[in-house]
Structures are given as structure tokens and as C-alpha cells.
């Protein structure tokens, strides 16, 4: 049941990917205009800029994910079909998470080309960071997205709620990428420690999401 | 306030404000404490070794910062209890505490910056605590924004409570990660708000903490009562509208 | 060693801002309380 819903959403979101990836590319370009591109600041800031682009794109994806459901009356259909709220949460998490992972791959390519910042040196660290950070973005994002859905002010409310909450993900994922990006020495331990933090964060919010989705969906 | 008694109408004079013996005593204590802290902090205590007179700002900065954490905890606790027990008391309390909390958080930031300028030379050095406070401020603002949405009361309060809970889980993580982040590149001494206090200075600080805690309580109690009155008014107007509608429906065609 | 700028103005500003804003907020809450109290029947006025 969850898989079916999940696939259905992903099919729809193929349209989303075609718009969100270009959006992220534009963000990367705009960052370059913030300074002197040859000075090397892009390479230095690449980890942070990468994750800011991810967060901004995540907002767009989350908004769309809930807007679509409201439009079709999807929420009521789910309830009538007897799907448990927790399953809805997990299903949506997988769908939105998959979209974001694809986006991150595209961004990694963009950052490698545009900012001369190669992430392949410490690939395991990069991959784990991406997975945990994505979950850490998706879980609170879905909770807050469900909270803001159906409201006229949702377009301004969701960013205000979402961005402060995921600040630890921004901090942790960026630090981890900084470690992965450092061309000289070997020690990756620091990066893995930040991954630990990301993992804890993701775990906490996934648990919270599973629990809170029921009261949140109650009142549509 | 006009009550109708039989055929005639009589004006009844009842206590028409949100005060009570408790708040009057509390208010008195708070004012006395405030006078004491002001005297001690601004006049009687000496300058600090390193930062000079700027330490006098800490006599208000630290108390409002502590008050901010108390306010936030009450909001978080109220949110959890509301989601769990559905008791209106906790929902109203959470909202009242959040409003006072946003005030205290804003003051924490302002006093922190006013302390920073003469001491660090700039208003902001990304001190771990101030940075976390800035994020907490934004979370409070978000919470209040949700409390203000135009939706049915139960929907609105439930969503606000979820925000409260999400923020509650987040704050410790934010503090930890910001602190860790800043400790990576900053030598611990330079950018932290730190002071050597002893004797009279410490006493002044303690009095300050107690005073601003009392002020917080006073503000929250009044704000709670205001919110409670608003709920009563809403419920009353709703009941009246329903009764009117029913009366209209029963008029014979 | 950090050079301390003239602190007195900052100290006074800080205290003024704190006391002033708390005072204004408190006054606003109390005023709103009075207005609302007048409109609600006395028996339903207080929870505590």
C-alpha cells in the first residue's frame, strides 16, 4: 500500500525533478555572483552552498508535495482507504527523499564543474552524509509541511518554520563535506562524527513524524 | 457591565481587570527586586576586571536569557500536555508563555549585542549562545505565526502544539551543533560571553534572575487571563450565533 | 586584549530597552485585560 502510494507520487514528481534541478542550478549560479569567482571562494564555500541549495530546493519540493494532495482531495481518499497515518509519513518520506537524493547527485555534479570542488575523494563519507542529511531534512519537512498545508499562508509559513529547525543539518552536513573536500590529509574522523549527529537528528525526527502524523492528518 | 434583573437593568461593578491579590503581591515583589538590582547593578557594584562597566549589562542579559529558557520550556511542556491531555489550560498557557518568551528572547539578543559592541568591538561575533538564541527567536516567531492563523480553534491549537514540540526537540540539538561548530575554529576565550563575578556581583546577578523570573510570571499570568477571556468571548459569541440561527429556523413559515 | 569602548551609553541603553519594552508590553496586556473583562460575564472570567 505504501509502495503503491510511493510510486504514484514519484511518477508525479518526475515533473517536479525537471523543474527543481534547474532551480538548484540557478541557485548555484547566483552564488557565484556573490563574489569574485576566480578568488577560490566558491571552492572554499562549496560545501555550505551545496547544502543551502538543497534546503531551498527541499522547500519547493515539500510545498509541491502537499499542494498536489490538497488539490486532488488526496488526503480524504487516503483516510477513506484506511491507510495509517504513519504509513503515509513513511511513504511520503521515501518519495520526497528519493527526489532529493537525485537532486543532490545533480548538485554534486554542478558543484564539481562550476566550483571546482570534487567530492569523490571520500565517497563513502559523502554518501552517508547525503543519506542522513536527506532524512534529517525530509522528516521535519514533512511534519511542518503537513502542518502548513491547507492554509492560505502556507507559502510563507513553511520556510519560516522549516529553516530554523533544520539548522543543525545545515551545520553538520556542511562540516562533513568540508572534511570530505579537504585535499591534503586523510583523517575523516571529524566528518564521521558529524554524521553521527546527523543520524541522531534524523532518527529523532523520523520517530516524531511517525507519532505526530496522526493528529496532524486528523483535521483535514 | 450591565445585567438585567427582572424588568430593570442595573450596572454591576465587578473587578474589571485581570489583576488579583496574587498578581498584586507578585508585582510588588518584582518592582522591589527591580529597584534593588538597578541600584546594585548600576551603582553599588564595581567594574569587572576585563570588560569594565559592560558587566552591568550582564545583570539584565543573563536574567532575561534564563527567563527565555523558562518561557520556552513552559511552551514546550504546554504543547506536549495539550496534545496528550487536551486540557485547554495547557494550550492557553503555552501560548501566553510563548508571547512573553519572544519578548525575553528579543531582549536577550539586544542586550547581548549591546554588551558585545563595547567588549568585542562589533555587535556580533557568532558567539554560540547568541547564535542559538537567534534561531530560538525565529522558532518562537514561527510558533506565534501558527497561533495566529485563521483556522478553527482546535485545528490551530493542535498545529501550534506540534510546532512547539518540534522546536522543543530541536533546541538542544541546535545548541550542541552551534557550540561544536564554533569551537572548531575559535579559541574558547575570545568570543564567549564570560565574566569573573564574585561576592556582591554574584549576589546582584542572583537577585536579577529572581526578579526577572517574577516579572515573567506576572506577565504570563496576565497574558494567560487575557487569552482565557478571549476564549470565553469567542465561545459566547459562537453560542449566541448558534442560538440565533436556531431561533430563526423555528419561526413558523 | 580587547579594547573596551566607552561603555556607559551601552549600559544605559540596555537597561532602558529592557525596562521600557517590558513596561510597554505589560501595560498593553493589562489594558487589553481591562477591556475584555468588561465584556465577559463575571462568573466566567477567571480560570484560576
Region B24-44+51-223: CATH code: 1.20.120
d(CA A74, CA C23): 49
Q: Which chains, if any, share at least 3 CB pairs under 8 A with chain B?
A: A, C
Looking at residue B4, its pLDDT comes to: 42
Looking at residue B253, its pLDDT comes to: 56
The pLDDT tens digits of the residues spanning A140-167 come to 999 999 988 878 777 889 999 999 999 9
CA dist B168 to A149, B78, B241, Å?
A: 21, 11, 38
B114, C5: Cβ pair inside 8 Å?
A: no
The C-alpha cell 545533480 sits at A106
Long-range contacts, C42-46 (Cβ 8 Å, 24+): C42/B1, C42/B12, C42/B14, C44/B232, C44/B236, C45/B229, C45/B232, C46/B20, C46/B225, C46/B228
Q: Give the start-to-end residue ranges of the domains of chain B.
A: 24-44+51-223
State which residues form the domain around A214: 2-219
The pLDDT tens digits of the residues spanning C21-35 come to 999 999 999 999 888
The pLDDT tens digits of the residues spanning A23-66 come to 999 999 999 898 888 878 888 889 999 999 999 999 998 988 88
Q: Report chain A's mean pLDDT, rounded to a whole number.
A: 84
Q: CA of C48 to nearest chain B CA: how many angstroms apart?
A: 9
ipTM over 0.90: no
d(CA A147, CA A145): 5
User: What is the band of C2 on the pLDDT scale with cuts at 50, 70, 90?
Assistant: very low
Per-residue pLDDT tens, chain B, 253 aa: give them.
Answer: 444 444 444 444 456 777 888 889 999 999 999 999 999 988 888 887 777 888 899 999 999 999 999 999 999 999 999 988 888 899 999 999 999 999 999 999 999 999 988 888 888 888 888 999 999 999 999 999 999 888 878 888 899 999 999 999 999 999 999 999 988 876 655 556 667 677 888 899 999 999 999 999 999 999 999 998 888 888 778 788 888 888 888 766 5
Q: Which chains, if any, share at least 3 CB pairs under 8 A with chain C?
A: B
Q: With H, G, I as helix, E, B as strand and everything else as coil, classify residue B7.
A: coil
d(CA B153, CA B159): 10
Q: With H, G, I as helix, E, B as strand and everything else as coil, classify residue B196.
A: coil
d(CA B212, CA C26): 13
Mark out chain A residues that contact chain B at CB-CB < 8 A: 140, 143-144, 147, 151-153, 157, 160-161, 163-165, 167-168, 171-172, 175, 197, 200-201, 204-205, 208, 212, 215-216, 218-219
d(CA A2, CA A6): 6
Looking at residue A96, its pLDDT comes to: 87
- Write out the H or E segment, with its range, that includes residue B33: helix B21-39
Of B145, B158, B173, the CB nearest to A157: B145
Cβ neighbours, 10 Å, residue A211: 16
Chains C and B touch (3+ CB pairs under 8 A): yes
Looking at residue C13, its pLDDT comes to: 92
B 124-183 residues with CB < 8 A to C = none
Q: With H, G, I as helix, E, B as strand and everything else as coil, classify residue A191.
A: helix
What cell does B63 get? 536574567
A171, B178: Cβ pair inside 8 Å?
A: yes
Give contacts of B76 with chain A, Cβ < 8 Å. Answer: none
Q: CA of C34 to nearest chain B CA: how many angstroms apart?
A: 4
Q: How many domains does chain A have?
A: 1
Beta strands at B8-11 and B2-5: parallel, antiparallel or unpaired: antiparallel
Cβ neighbours, 10 Å, residue A170: 20
Of B158, B180, B181, the CB nearest to A219: B158
Chains B and A touch (3+ CB pairs under 8 A): yes
DSSP tag of A45: H
Cβ neighbours, 10 Å, residue B176: 16
Amino acid at each position: 500500500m505504501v509502495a503503491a502510494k510511493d510510486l504514484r507520487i514519484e511518477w508525479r514528481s518526475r515533473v517536479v525533478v525537471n523543474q527543481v534541478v534547474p532551480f538548484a542550478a540557478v541557485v548555484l549560479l547566483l552564488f557565484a555572483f556573490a563574489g569574485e569567482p576566480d578568488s577560490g571562494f566558491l571552492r572554499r564555500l562549496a560545501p555550505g552552498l551545496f547544502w543551502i541549495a538543497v534546503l531551498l530546493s527541499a522547500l519547493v519540493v515539500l510545498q509541491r508535495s502537499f499542494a498536489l494532495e490538497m488539490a486532488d482531495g488526496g488526503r480524504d481518499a487516503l483516510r477513506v482507504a484506511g491507510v495509517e497515518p504513519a504509513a503515509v509519513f513513511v511513504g511520503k518520506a521515501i518519495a520526497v527523499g528519493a527526489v532529493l537524493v537525485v537532486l543532490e547527485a545533480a548538485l554534486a555534479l554542478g558543484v564539481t564543474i562550476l566550483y571546482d570542488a570534487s567530492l569523490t575523494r571520500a565517497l563513502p563519507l559523502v554518501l552517508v552524509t547525503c543519506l542522513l542529511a536527506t532524512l534529517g531534512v525530509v522528516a521535519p519537512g514533512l511534519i511542518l509541511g503537513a502542518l502548513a498545508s491547507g492554509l492560505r499562508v502556507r507559502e510563507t509559513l513553511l520556510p519560516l518554520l522549516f529553516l530554523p529547525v533544520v539548522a543543525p543539518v545545515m551545520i553538520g552536513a556542511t562540516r562533513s563535506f568540508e572534511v570530505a573536500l579537504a585535499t591534503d590529509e586523510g583523517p575523516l574522523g571529524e566528518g564521521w562524527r558529524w554524521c553521527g549527529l546527523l543520524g541522531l537528528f534524523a532518527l529523532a525526527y523520523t520517530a516524531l513524524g511517525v507519532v505526530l502524523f496522526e493528529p496532524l492528518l486528523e483535521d483535514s | 457591565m450591565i445585567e438585567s434583573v427582572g424588568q430593570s437593568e442595573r450596572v454591576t461593578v465587578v473587578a474589571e481587570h485581570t489583576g488579583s491579590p496574587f498578581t498584586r503581591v507578585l508585582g510588588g515583589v518584582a518592582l522591589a527586586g527591580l529597584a534593588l538590582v538597578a541600584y546594585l547593578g548600576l551603582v553599588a557594584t564595581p567594574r569587572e576586571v576585563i570588560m569594565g562597566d559592560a558587566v552591568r549589562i550582564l545583570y539584565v542579559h543573563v536574567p532575561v536569557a534564563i527567563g527565555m529558557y523558562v518561557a520556552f520550556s513552559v511552551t514546550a511542556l504546554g504543547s506536549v500536555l495539550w496534545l496528550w491531555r487536551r486540557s485547554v489550560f495547557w494550550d492557553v498557557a503555552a501560548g501566553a508563555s510563548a508571547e512573553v518568551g519572544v519578548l525575553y528572547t528579543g531582549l536577550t539578543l539586544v542586550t547581548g549585542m549591546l554588551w558585545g559592541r563595547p567588549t568585542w568591538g562589533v555587535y556580533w561575533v557568532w558567539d554560540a549562545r547568541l547564535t542559538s538564541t537567534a534561531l530560538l527567536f525565529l522558532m518562537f516567531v514561527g510558533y506565534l505565526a501558527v497561533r495566529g492563523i485563521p483556522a478553527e480553534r482546535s485545528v490551530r491549537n493542535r498545529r501550534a502544539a506540534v510546532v512547539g514540540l518540534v522546536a522543543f526537540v530541536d533546541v538542544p540539538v541546535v545548541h550542541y551543533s552551534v557550540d561544536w561548530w564554533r569551537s572548531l575554529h575559535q579559541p574558547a576565550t575570545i568570543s564567549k560571553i564570560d565574566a569573573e563575578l564574585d561576592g556582591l556581583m554574584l549576589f546582584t546577578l542572583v537577585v536579577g534572575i529572581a526578579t526577572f523570573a517574577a516579572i515573567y510570571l506576572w506577565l504570563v499570568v496576565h497574558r494567560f487571563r487575557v487569552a482565557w477571556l478571549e476564549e470565553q468571548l469567542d465561545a459566547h459569541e459562537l453560542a449566541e450565533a448558534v442560538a440565533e440561527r436556531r431561533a430563526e429556523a423555528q419561526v413558523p413559515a | 586584549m580587547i579594547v573596551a569602548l566607552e561603555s556607559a551609553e551601552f549600559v544605559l541603553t540596555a537597561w532602558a530597552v529592557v525596562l521600557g519594552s517590558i513596561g510597554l508590553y505589560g501595560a498593553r496586556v493589562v489594558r487589553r485585560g481591562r477591556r475584555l473583562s468588561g465584556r465577559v460575564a463575571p462568573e466566567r472570567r477567571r480560570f484560576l
